[in-house]
Amino acid sequence: MKQYIIIASILFAHFAFAQDVETNTASKIWSLEDCISYAIENNITIKDADLNTSISEVNYNKAKSAKLPNLFGSASQNFSSGTSIDPITSDYVSDQIHSTNLGINSSVTLFQGNQLNNQVKQNQLLVEQNSLLAQEAKNNIVISILESYLQTLYSKEGISIAENNLSASEKEVLRAKSRLDAGTIALSDYTEAQSQAATNKYNVIAAKNDYELNIINLKQLLELSPLEDLTIETVDENQDLINLELNKEAIYTNALAYLPEVEASKTNILVNEKELEIAKGGYLPTLALTGSLGSGYTSIRDNTFTDQLDVNFNQRLGLSLSIPIFNRNQTKSAVQTASFNIEKAEIQKQTIEKEVIKKVETAYQNALSSQEQLVAAEVSQDAAEQSYNLAQKKYELGDLSTTDLVISQNTFTNAQQNYLQSKYLNILYHQLLQFYQGNDIKL
């Protein structure tokens, strides 16, 4: 009985701990910084880029090891019958022969057109390039997280606007029903109020669906389970919005110096230049040093196995030289291909620099535009709100038709949406410009 009590206590404690962990996970509110940190650790695109870096490091070590001597051991056991050459004594023998061969062989390349050294340098450059590409992958995920996070916040606030409009329109339906019963409005005014309420209800459903879709997208970037709850932190309403004081040319210069894809494109040129040097090395001779130790045993001799291994022990040392004379233009083709790849790498570098400038230019111009739009949208929203409040009072007094009230409400809704969009676009482009300068993204 005591054992059952202990087991039950352990199970209860485990269940309580699991419930506590689940509650803490569900109740966590994710900030933008939390999302970025988690994505960098768990996003599969980043993991794939990091694996490419690890593979390039393995290849780099492999290239360095190619300069070392190799070492192979060998052993063979043979049987022959009839007239044959004894593999140990090299005598013609007409008998059954049991023979054993043991050996160790080694070789080292002394010179190979400097190809080995160039391959080491090339693989070192590839490690640097893949590290830069891994950083670019992280940057892309950071920007995707930023865009998805702000889009989710935008859709979340859109739900509040839609719900407020629905609540207001439902109250207007009740007022319209009372006025219809009192005979002060026509049936068409009442049905129009109902239609507006139904439209606003549809808008609430659409806004909630849009929010859930944005949550799904954010979860995928974070590699979270679809079943896991995700609640994100709202933006501080009192934060300072963008105030552009940076020089455009300075932004370009900093972005070209900071963004890893630019440096990776420069490294790619160096990689292809090394490939050209490796290809040219094919025109030069190859010199290698070889050596071996060996011994053997044959059954046609009377000596013991140990004695024969001692007697037949041999050592060899030699140099081998291979001079390329004609290899069906393989080296020539490799040199031409490497030259063309250098030109392609230079074009790719120019393309990437243009893309970076375009991204920075787009962010800068959109930031300027969103800043002006935000000011105008705020004024428009305040004016539309005052107009809608006045329209509601007139409607309550019977001095305004349902149609005019609906128009005023829709105008106010559009003004709210425009302000909300301008606000988040302003935040987005401000953060992008900060990011292109090498600064951390934070809200």
b (16+ CB within 10 A) / e for 292-303: bebbbbbbeeee
Greatest CA separation for the chain: 133
Tokens coding 420: 């909300």
Q: Which residue has the higher pLDDT, 131 or 23?
A: 131
Instruction: Tell which CATH classification among 3.30.930.10, 1.10.8.350, 1.20.1600.10, 1.10.420.10 matches the domain 30-66+113-284+324-436.
Output: 1.20.1600.10
Q: Which one, of 400, 386, 387, lies nearest residue 193 by Cα?
A: 400
Q: What's this model's pTM, rounded to 2 decimal places?
A: 0.85
pLDDT at 246: 62
Q: What is the pLDDT of residues 43-68, one digit of tens each?
A: 999 999 999 999 999 999 999 999 99
Contact 42, 141 (CB under 8 A): no
Beta bridge pairs of residue 241? none
308-341 per-position pLDDT tens digit: 888 889 999 999 999 999 999 999 999 999 999 9
| Rounded distance between C-alpha atoms, residue 406 and residue 192, angstroms | 8
Whole-number Å distance between alpha carbons of 195 and 409: 13
Q: What are phi and psi of 231, to 5 degrees?
A: -120, 125
> Does the pLDDT value for residue 187 go beyond 60?
yes
Distances in Å between the Cα of 43 and the Cα atoms of 46, 65, 97, 126 are 6, 33, 66, 23
Q: Give the pair of three-digit tokens for residue 293.
A: 């130790």
Tokens of 221: 């970037």
Please say if the pLDDT value at position 29 is more than 70.
Answer: yes
In this structure, the chain runs to a length of 443
pLDDT over 60 (residue 280): yes
269, pLDDT greater than 60: yes
Tokens read off for 53:
């870096």
- 304: helix, coil or strand? coil
List the chain domain ranges. 30-66+113-284+324-436, 68-112+293-323
Reduce the DSSP state of residue 400 to 3 states and report it: coil
pLDDT in tens, 387-428: 999 999 998 888 888 899 999 999 999 999 999 999 999 999
Q: Residue 243: pLDDT above 60?
A: no
Assign 106 a pLDDT band (cuts: 50, 70, 90): very high
Q: How confident is the model at residue 9 (pLDDT cuts 50, 70, 90)?
A: very low
- Per DSSP, helices labelled H in 66-186 are 115-182
259: nearest Cα among 133, 441, 126, 363: 133
